[in-house]
Amino acid sequence: MPQMAPIGWLSLFIIFSITFVIFNMMNYYSFIPYMPSSNSTVKTQSMNSLNWKW
C-alpha cells in the first residue's frame, strides 16, 4: 500500500489546525457571563467581606 505524500499530511494538519482554532474561538466568544443588574448587591458583598469572623 503506498504511503501518503508529505504534502498530504501537511494539508491535513493545516485543515485540522484551522478547524480546531475556529471551533475554540466559537466556544470562547459564544459564552456570555452573568452580570448583576443592580449595584446594591455589589455594595453589600463588599461590606460583608470587610467583616472578618475569627
- Distance between CA atoms of residues 23 and 17, nearest Å: 10
Instruction: Check: pTM over 0.85? Answer yes or no.
Output: no
**Side-chain-side CA neighbours of residue 13 (13 Å):** 6
53 has a pLDDT exceeding 90: no
Model confidence pLDDT, tens digit, residues 26-46: 998 887 778 777 655 555 555
Q: Which residues contact 42 (CB under 8 A, 6 or more apart)?
A: 36
Q: Concatenated DSSP letters for 19-54?
A: HHHHHHHHHHHT------S-SHHHHHHHHHHHS---
